[in-house]
Amino acid sequence: MPHHIRPATSVSDPLTSSPHLPEQDAILVTGGAGFIGSHTVVQLLSLGLRLVIVDNLCNSSEEALHRALELAGNKGELFFHKVDLLDGAALEKVFELYTFSACIHFAGLKAVGESSQIPIGYYQTNVTGTLNLLQLLQRYNCRNFIFSSSATVYGLPSSTDPIREDASLGALNPYGRTKQYIEEILRDIANSEPNQWNIIMLRYFNPVGAHESGRIGEDPNGIPNNLMPFVAQVAIGRRPVINVFGNDYETPDGTGVRDYIHIVDLARGHVAALNKIQSFSMGAHTSVHNSNGTKSLGCVPYNLGSGIGYSVMDMIESMSKAVGRQLPYRVIERRLGDVALCVADPTLSAHDLDWRAEKTLQDMCNDLWRWQIQNPNGYEARVATAASGTEEEDEEEGTLREDSDVASVASTSSASLPETSPSTPTPGELAPSVFASLPVTLLPIISTIAKPAPVMISAESLKAVTAATPLVKPVVATQVPVVSPAGSPARGATAC
* Length of the chain, in residues: 496
Cβ-proximal residues to 242 (8 Å cutoff; 6+ apart), any chain: 230, 231, 234, 316, 327, 328, 329, 330
Three-class DSSP category at 102: strand
99, 243, 306, 349: which one contacts ligand GDU (CB under 6 A)? 243
Backbone region of residue 180 per phi and psi (left: phi > 0; alpha: psi in -120 to 50; beta: other values): alpha
Q: How far is the CB of 400 from ligand GDU (least distance, A)?
A: 12
- Catalytic annotation on 181? no
Q: How far is the CB of 340 from ligand GDU (least distance, A)?
A: 8
Residues 113 and 151: their CA atoms lie apart, in Å, by: 16
130, 152, 306, 320: which one contacts ligand GDU (CB under 6 A)? 152
Q: How far is the CB of 150 from ligand GDU (least distance, A)?
A: 5
Helices (H), 260-304: 263-283
Catalytic residue among 140, 154, 175, 260: 175
Residues 239 and 223: their CA atoms lie apart, in Å, by: 9
Interface residues for ligand GDU in 157-216 (CB under 6 A)?
Answer: 206
Q: How far is the CB of 71 from ligand GDU (least distance, A)?
A: 25
Task: Kindly tell me which of 95 and 230 has the beta carbon lying closer to ligand GDU.
Answer: 230
474-to-31, 68, 401, 417, 469 alpha-carbon distances in Å: 5, 16, 32, 29, 13
Task: Kindly tell me which of 32 and 309 has the beta carbon lying closer to ligand GDU.
Answer: 309
Of 12-20, 299-307, 358-366, 472-480, the segment contacting ligand GDU by CB under 6 A is 472-480
**What is the dihedral sign for C-alpha 461, 48, 94, 189?**
negative
Task: Kindly tell me which of 257 and 322 has the beta carbon lying closer to ligand GDU.
Answer: 257
Residue type (1 letter), 186? L
Task: Kindly tell me which of 30 and 479 has the beta carbon lying closer to ligand GDU.
Answer: 479
180, 372, 375, 478: which one contacts ligand GDU (CB under 6 A)? 478
Our finding on whether 335 is near ligand GDU (CB under 6 A) is: yes
245, 400, 406, 487: which one contacts ligand GDU (CB under 6 A)? 245
Residues 302 and 357: their CA atoms lie apart, in Å, by: 13
Q: At what angle do helices 62-71 and 35-46 cross, to 10 degrees?
A: 30
**What is the dihedral sign for C-alpha 80, 86, 89, 92?**
positive
What residue number has its CB nearest to ligand GDU?
Answer: 256
Of 5-13, 219-227, 447-455, 462-470, the segment contacting ligand GDU by CB under 6 A is 219-227
Cβ-proximal residues to 1 (8 Å cutoff; 6+ apart), any chain: 99, 141
Size of the site for ligand GDU (CB under 6 A): 21
Cβ-proximal residues to 432 (8 Å cutoff; 6+ apart), any chain: 23, 24
Task: Kindly tell me which of 230 and 369 has the beta carbon lying closer to ligand GDU.
Answer: 230
Task: Kindly tell me which of 85 and 312 has the beta carbon lying closer to ligand GDU.
Answer: 312
Cβ count near 336 (within 10 Å): 8
308-311 and 257-258 beta bridge pairing:
antiparallel
59, 130, 149, 226: which one contacts ligand GDU (CB under 6 A)? 226
Q: How far is the CB of 336 from ligand GDU (least distance, A)?
A: 10
Backbone φ, ψ for residue 274 (5° rounding): -65, -40
229-to-206, 310, 342, 371, 445 alpha-carbon distances in Å: 12, 16, 19, 11, 30
Q: Are 51 and 436 in contact (CB under 8 A)?
A: no
Q: How far is the CB of 249 from ligand GDU (least distance, A)?
A: 8
Q: Exposed/middle/buried for 248, CB within 10 Å: 0-12, 13-18, 19+? A: exposed
Classify residue 422 by its DSSP letter. Answer: P
Task: Kindly tell me which of 93 and 110 has the beta carbon lying closer to ligand GDU.
Answer: 110
Of 4-12, 222-230, 265-273, 356-364, the segment contacting ligand GDU by CB under 6 A is 222-230
Name the residue among 449, 435, 452 with its Cα closest to residue 83: 449
Helices (H), 206-262: 227-236
Q: Are 163 and 157 in contact (CB under 8 A)?
A: yes
Residues 174 and 396: their CA atoms lie apart, in Å, by: 26
Of 84-92, 161-169, 224-232, 407-415, the segment contacting ligand GDU by CB under 6 A is 224-232
200, 480, 483, 496: which one contacts ligand GDU (CB under 6 A)? 480
Task: Kindly tell me which of 21 and 151 has the beta carbon lying closer to ligand GDU.
Answer: 151
Instruction: Build a one-symbol-per-residue string for 81-110: x at contacts with ligand GDU by CB under 6 A, - elsewhere.
Output: -----------------------------x
Q: How far is the CB of 323 from ligand GDU (least distance, A)?
A: 17
Our finding on whether 251 is near ligand GDU (CB under 6 A) is: no
Task: Kindly tell me which of 256 and 428 has the beta carbon lying closer to ligand GDU.
Answer: 256
95, 98, 197, 230: which one contacts ligand GDU (CB under 6 A)? 230
Of 22-30, 221-229, 275-283, 300-308, the segment contacting ligand GDU by CB under 6 A is 221-229
Residues belonging to the active site: 175
Give the interface with ligand GDU as residue ranges (CB under 6 A).
110, 112, 150, 152, 206, 225-227, 230, 243-245, 256, 258, 312, 335, 338, 478-481
